[in-house]
Chain A
Amino acid sequence: MDFLTLIQILDSTVRLATPLLLACLAGLYSERAGVVDIGLEGKMLVAAFLAGAVSYVTGSVWLGMLAAIAGSTALSMIHGLASITFRGDQLISGVALNFLAAGLTVVVGQAWFGLGGRTPSLSNGGRFEPITLPFADAVADVPVLGPIYEELISGHTLLVYVAFALVPLTWWVLYRTRFGLRLRAVGENPSAVDTAGISVVRLRFTALVIAGVLCGLAGAYLATLAAGFVKDMTAGRGYIALAALIFAKWRPWYALSATLLFGLLEAIGNRYQSIEIGAFEIPVQFMQALPYILTVVILAGFVGKAIPPRAGGSPYVKER
């Protein structure tokens, strides 16, 4: 493998890791507040659809993004209504939302555009443009560092940089602000938070709003990447993000490395049909399944133990 191929693979790693990272951080906020979120997939899907549809109709990528965020947050609020207000099962609610999203996007898309659930291709105004960082062209000819800067670091769309900037931001919010402390506390011991006179319900809803916004960005990114919405375009990315979240043990920096790893696996899988190592041939299906296998291994506690937030999954019932 030559240097340029490596750069290209890493470049597509960044592209493929971005939606995973955004969704993973969305799950991180929600689960750290004690609300398990299987509905990441559905939220991303609705967001991708609305981004594709609204960007096409209005010709503005920004309106598309706003619609994506609104749709994704709306699903988040249904999740909150079911799992916080009515104390229903968070897992079941998430599963239901995924089905709702998978069905609605196609039914509405077909009625709206008549393209079998697709949205029309986005032209230039309807999608995010790659951003060329300063001096990218100037340093392109510098050996090694030039291609790294020009291909790998420069030339991505805005949301890629936003996603990567969100990692330190999330770390700061979680570990250096009062809100973050409360958020983590409400996921570990909600009754203690309640005793301190802070509303558990409001904190959890706030976390879900953040999760909705981030999933909205993830969906908008997907729509931009593929220049429109295609039926079931998230293709399990929400679940991979969930896997990455477990892999990352619910921590922001680990989330970055986990999603980059899963992005790398996908990038390699896209580029090579099969990989030969000595006499062995690794089939492409194995590469596709590897994120899930790794997650099961991590969950089984064979490589480090993943301990979820303690109050995750259970609705909070105020003492009477």
Chain B
Amino acid sequence: MQKMPKWADVALIPLINILIAFTLSGLIIWAIGGDPFRALKTMVTGSFGSTNGWGYTLYYTTNFIFTGLAVATAYQARLFNIGGEGQAMLGGLGVALVALSIDWPHWAIALPAAAIGGAAFGAFWAVIPAYLQAKRGSHIVITTIMFNFIASALVGYLLLNFLKVPGNMSTESAGFPAGTNLPTFSDMLAPFGITFAKNAPANISFLVALACAFGYWLLIWHTKLGYQIRAFGQSETGAIYAGINPVRIVVITMVISGALAGMMALNNVMGEAERLIDNAVEGAGFIGIAVALMGRNHPVGIVLAALLFGFLFQGGSELSLWEGIPRELVVVIQGLVILLTGALDNMVRGPVERLFLMLHKGEA
């Protein structure tokens, strides 16, 4: 007998988790002397009240869709990829190298080239931990954490010694050529007669992210490889018995995962900064964990969870601007969401299951 209907598992429990996380965050705001309701209002108007707000919200959302998909892909094979941060950093390097290599004539040519560059570098950074996990049994969680730090040192070194413009004070690469500048929402919506804030960073890579979400859905549920990945995730011994090569699955899964994280650089490096800066990822790789957990590893869930975190990120900077509440509040909410949906899941699930059982008995 099923303990509870599917909708409760997919929608109700995440909703209860968010509600608890928001309530706790509200209590924190109240405890530090703020007004939680006014804070919520500031966040909502700041992120959805204007096209400028939307532009930032969707820009962050794009980042989180990429990293959320990266974590979710790995999770289908029950691999916990904490290395999205480092993979996205390397992706930025790949995108920057492609963008700076030649004088690109048009963004439509530069975009796929940069996507390949970012994906390849991100995948490269994921494939080493994957190989070590599959062949040498070193735990992928620890190796990907280590690789985050190594990536940060590596990119910092390359920026400082090779990519930095001589004589320039700030640690950043040269600006990308004009032919790589991606169309923003303002450029994209103008032909339809819709005016969108000109300076908002949301750009065409949002559509790339949505396409990736669709591709993820196709891959995981409608291809042989996806089936193998899920089978491996459900039961490693069962998968091996069915003739699935575990080394191959672990490596391929992590290559896809790393490539998705690396492609995030299309948005933040190519779309927004238009040059490679130090620490460009800003923790988006870690937010991917929260997004994947909350989205229950389903593409629709991931896009919605990414939108939620995009809202939190943009709303958080509005909070620090207008209410004097540090934007680190978002990190607190992020921690609470990960804790509640990931680790304390059974705390919410148990009572809800019992509730449904009781209702069920009442009917019978």
A positions within 8 Å CB-CB of B: 38, 78, 81-83, 86-93, 95-104, 106-108, 110-112, 116-117, 236, 239, 242-243, 246, 283, 285-286, 288-289, 292-293, 295-296, 299-301, 308
B contact patch SS = helix
Q: Which residues of B contact A286 (CB under 8 A)?
A: 153, 157
Output the nearest chain B residue to A308 by Cβ-Cβ distance: B139
A selection of 7 A-B contacts at a CB cut-off of 8 Å is A82-B344, A87-B346, A100-B332, A103-B333, A242-B142, A285-B156, A299-B143
Given the interface pairs A103-B335, A108-B32, the reply to whether A88 lies near B326 with Cβ below 8 Å is no
- Bound-state CA distance A196–B139 (Å) is 31
Is B138 interfacial (CB 8 A cutoff)?
Answer: yes
- Bound-state CA distance A292–B328 (Å) is 27
Residue in contact with B325 in the complex, picked from A83, A90, A107, A299, CB distance below 8 Å: A107
Are B138 and A99 in contact, with the CB atoms below 8 A?
A: no
Given the interface pairs A242-B142, A283-B157, A293-B150, the reply to whether A96 lies near B332 with Cβ below 8 Å is no
Q: Which residues of A contact B147 (CB under 8 A)?
A: 292, 296
List residues 327-364 of chain B with CB under 8 A from any CB of chain A: 328-336, 338-339, 342-347
Are A239 and B149 in contact, with the CB atoms below 8 A?
A: yes
Least CB distance from A37 to B in Å reads 12
Q: Which residues of A contact B336 (CB under 8 A)?
A: 96, 100
Interface string of B138-154 (1 = CB under 8 A from A): 11011101110110011
- Bound-state CA distance A296–B144 (Å) is 9
Q: 15 additional contacts, CB 8 Å, given A88-B346, A89-B343?
A: A88-B342, A88-B345, A91-B82, A93-B339, A93-B342, A97-B339, A100-B331, A242-B142, A243-B146, A285-B154, A285-B160, A286-B157, A289-B149, A295-B142, A296-B143
Residue in contact with A103 in the complex, picked from B156, B157, B161, B328, CB distance below 8 Å: B328
- Bound-state CA distance A6–B47 (Å) is 55
- Bound-state CA distance A108–B32 (Å) is 7
Q: Which residues of B contact A86 (CB under 8 A)?
A: 343-347
- Of B32, B136, B343, which is in contact with the most chain A CB atoms at under 10 Å from its CB? B343
Is B132 interfacial (CB 8 A cutoff)?
Answer: yes
Interface string of B234-262 (1 = CB under 8 A from A): 00000000000000000000000000000
- Of B328, B331, B334, which is in contact with the most chain A CB atoms at under 10 Å from its CB? B328
Are A117 and B328 in contact, with the CB atoms below 8 A?
A: yes
Are A91 and B328 in contact, with the CB atoms below 8 A?
A: no
Least CB distance from B331 to A in Å reads 3
Given the interface pairs A87-B346, A92-B343, A103-B330, the reply to whether A300 lies near B80 with Cβ below 8 Å is no
Least CB distance from A90 to B in Å reads 8
Least CB distance from A284 to B in Å reads 8
- Bound-state CA distance A146–B339 (Å) is 52
Interface string of B282-296 (1 = CB under 8 A from A): 000010010001000
Are B138 and A289 in contact, with the CB atoms below 8 A?
A: no
Given the interface pairs A88-B345, A111-B33, the reply to whether A103 lies near B338 with Cβ below 8 Å is no
Are A92 and B150 in contact, with the CB atoms below 8 A?
A: no
